[in-house]
Amino acid sequence: MKSSNVSKPHANHGSDELQEPFSSTEPETDEELASAADLIRSLLKAIKAYKLYQANNPMLTKQLDELTTKFTAHLDRYQTLNLQVGEYKLFFDGKPIYESPDMKESLAFLLYKDGVREIRFLRGLEDQEISEFLDVIRKNEQASRLEDDIVTLLWEKDFAHISYFATDEFTESNAVHVPTSYDEIQAGLEFSPDSERATDAEPEEESEEAATLSVPAEMLPELGDQRETFTRHFQPTPEEVDLINRQINQEADVHFVSTLVDNLTEILLHLGEDLEPYENMVTFFDRALEFLLLKGEFRTAGRILKTHREILDSMALKDNQIFAINRIFECVGSPRMIELAAQTLKHEGFLDLNTGREFFDLLPKSAIEPLCNMLGQLESPKARKLIAEIIGRKVKGDLEMLTPFLKDKSWIVVCYVINIIANSRDRNAIKYLSQTCSHPDERVRRTALKALSQYGSEEIKGLLIKMLNDDSAYIRSQAVIHLARLAKHEALRPILSVIQSEPFLDRDFSEKAAFFRAVGQIRSKESLPVLRKILEKKSWFQRSKWDELQVCAIGALRMIGTEESTKILEMGKRSKSQAVKKACLQALNEPTA
């Protein structure tokens, strides 16, 4: 299993006063612990209200308002809310603040069972994100075991102020944690929570004895005339009888078609040289497979394709027989058939991924285009994931076939195609991925950045430098950390250029922290004059913004850790700014006043 560490920067909402960046990790956390526990209680109330009431119900509105108020108060004071997820417990700073052993009701178990091991809420969390997060919880509770899991639902939402650590194969493992407080810059830490290992214990099956209701004989006389009432009560209605009959007929129809196809296959293998019977045979197979797809019988359709693939691979056939079987594969891989399969999956759901895997795997390469279109039609992320994996196997060594879909009007299609290309590890992958770095949809650019970050090639250095000026704060923050890791000293000039630009002062604290963290990682003495200049800056205007910038510069100096950087920190201890003075003392490991 791959692990996902998807972290996103947050935005400042509210006052120009500097939010205290140190309190979230100081030893005295009793107040923060109490605030986190109180927030969780409000979250649980809101989840319950979300399940009980309609969207416009006053009770739901009240609970959402209360939850939003508590989130805002907590995050404004402490910057983040980090929750570690156990099987039945939620932990804050290693201390349990929530426990429920009820698997049906437990929020912890709901997250844990799908691989979530830590979840983080960041300052700047918006009302819409809270509502959508509650919607994810509600959808996951209603989904069956084989439908959408919570990780794929969170990935689909792509929250800006909610991040998570998960052990799920589909989520990308290359996103970089963007620091949200000075202490994270100072420590030079990545977001790497201790994950608990999930156990794949098989559920115990109820014994037949436990599932059978045994009525003592002496009780039967007491039932008296109630027997007729019970019989009438449990008698199927005419509608239920009709439904049962239709299901039986459908099963009979599928069995009949399956048997018919087996017979047609036998006939196909004994036809002579005349071409017309083969063309008729192709038509018969086409109609049979169409019927099976309409019924959602992907397993039966897959079995038919497997049989004919084995015949092609293992038997000495006539030219007309080879022609006919190849035509059957071409027909089933046509846009018409794939569209039919997509519509069936869309309406019937994808209850068992393995049911359709063999069918789609055996489709010819000509099915790649309609399969890509299918990605935009399916509603289940798990079904899309399966189709994407199959496309990936079919395009191996021929990524050029996917390039038209990098400009598809559906952002979901583009994102899945990006991941297919990235996972191919093809030497030409970067050439194709670079086409999406300036895509108008931010979600596509985010996916492209994550995909590019898998490659350590010098080819992506220029792309990362361009992304330092992206319209999205999240993309700029991720790009700068990847650039520092890849290019080291070559990255310093473009990074310092952004830091010294006029718009940088007004950017969010988390983005500033990311850029200065990158400078600290490079550990070059060439950055010291710029950092010293920032620390010495005195300004009567936008004081809180400059305090943020100077605290981040102190963090970079602490990471550089040379004698010269230490002298600059010593100088900072004499600053008139309490925030700067306190940050310098902490960076030098001295007690604060």
Q: Per-residue pLDDT tens for 3-46? A: 444 333 333 333 333 233 223 333 346 888 999 999 999 999 88
Is pLDDT of 243 > 70? Answer: no
- Tell me the pLDDT of the chain averaged across its residues: 78
pLDDT surpasses 80 at 438: yes
Q: Which residue, chain included where needed, has tokens 């039609």?
A: 377
Strands 162-166 and 116-122 come out as antiparallel
Report whether 73 contacts 121 (CB < 8 A): no
From 394, 425, 448, the end of a domain falls on 394
Domain contains 49: yes
What's the maximum distance between 2 C-alpha atoms anywhere in the chain? 99
Which residues are bridge partners to 448 per DSSP?
none
147, 170, 187 - which closes a domain: 187
The answer to whether 558 and 519 have CB atoms below 8 angstroms apart is no
Give the pLDDT of residue 195: 39
pLDDT average, residue stretch 228-239:
48
160 with 279, same domain: the answer is no
Within-domain flag for 345: yes
The residue written with tokens 């920190």 in the block is 569
Residue 565: inside a domain, yes or no? Answer: yes
What is the DSSP code (8-state) at residue 410? -
Q: How many whole angstroms separate alpha carbon 417 and alpha carbon 399?
A: 10
Given a cut of 80, whether residue 240 has pLDDT beyond it is no
- 84, 90 contact by CB (below 8 A): yes
Q: What percent of the chain stands above pLDDT 70? A: 77
Residue 459 lies in a domain: no
Same domain, 152 and 21: yes
| Residues 509/548, Cβ–Cβ less than 8 Å | yes
Per-residue burial over 407-444, b = 16 or more CB atoms within 10 Å of its CB, e = otherwise: ebeebbbbbbbbbbbbebebeebbebbbebbebeebeb
Compute the average pLDDT of residues 41-67: 83
Q: How many residues does the chain have?
A: 593
The two structure tokens encoding residue 308: 């004919």
Query: Would you state the torsion angle of the CA atoms of residues 156, 162, 164, 168, taken in this order, to the nearest 10 degrees?
Result: 0
Which distant-in-sequence residues (6+ apart) come within 8 Å of 489 by Cβ? 522, 524, 526
Q: What is the pTM of this model?
A: 0.61
* Type of residue found at 571: M
Q: Would you state the torsion angle of the CA atoms of residues 408, 409, 410, 414, taken in this order, to the nearest 10 degrees?
A: 30
177 and 270: one domain? Answer: no
The answer to whether residues 385 and 472 belong to one domain is: no
| Residue scoring higher pLDDT (245 or 113) | 113
Please, which residues have CB within 8 angstroms of residue 121's CB and are 6 or more apart in sequence?
71, 75, 80, 81, 161, 162
37 plus 151 within the same structural domain: yes
Cβ-contact 9, 179 below 8 angstroms: no
List all residues 6 or more positions away from 483 whose beta carbon is below 8 Å from its beta carbon. 461, 464, 465, 468, 491, 494, 495, 518
Assess whether 275 and 380 both reside in one domain. Answer: yes
Predicted pLDDT of residue 250: 52
SS3 532: helix
| C-alpha to C-alpha distances, 237 to 159, 242, 243, 443, 546, nearest whole angstrom | 48, 9, 10, 50, 75
pLDDT at 40: 92
In a domain, 57, yes or no: yes
The Cα–Cα gap between 336 and 341 comes to 9
* pLDDT, tens digit (0-9, with 9 covering 90-100), for 498-556: 999 989 999 988 899 899 999 999 999 999 999 999 988 877 677 788 888 888 999 89
In a shared domain, residues 181 and 279: no
Strands 116-122 and 80-85, by their bridges, are: antiparallel
In a domain, 233, yes or no: no
Q: Beta-carbon neighbour count of residue 387 at 10 Å? A: 25
Same structural domain for residues 167 and 33?
yes
Q: How confident is the model at residue 63 (pLDDT cuts 50, 70, 90)?
A: confident
Whether 419 is in a domain gets the answer no
CB atoms within 10 A of CB 156: 15
Q: Which helix (H) or strand (E) holds 80?
A: strand 80-85
Residue 234 phi, psi dihedral angles, 5° rounding: -95, 10
Provide the domain limits for residue 531. Answer: 468-593
Q: At residue 105, does pLDDT exceed 90?
A: no
Q: How confident is the model at residue 224 (pLDDT cuts 50, 70, 90)?
A: very low
Query: Does 15 share its domain with 113?
Result: yes
Q: What is the mean pLDDT of residues 408-423?
A: 93
Express each pLDDT in 132-190 by its tens digit.
Answer: 898 888 776 654 444 557 887 888 777 888 888 876 443 344 445 555 454 555 555 33
Total domains in the chain come to 3
Residues 278 and 366 in one domain: yes
Last residue of a domain, one of 133, 152, 187: 187
Domain shared by 177 and 279, yes or no: no
Residue 452 has pLDDT above 80, yes or no: yes
What is the Cα–Cα distance from 84 to 80, expressed in whole angstroms? 13
In a domain, 192, yes or no: no
What whole-number distance in Å separates Cα of residue 415 and Cα of residue 74? 34
Q: Using pLDDT thresholds of 50, 70 and 90, give the confidence band for residue 352.
A: low
Closest of 429, 423, 372 to residue 400, by C-alpha:
429
Token couple for 183 = 């202490």
The SS3 assignment for 165 reads: strand
Percent of the chain with pLDDT over 90: 32
Res 198: pLDDT: 40
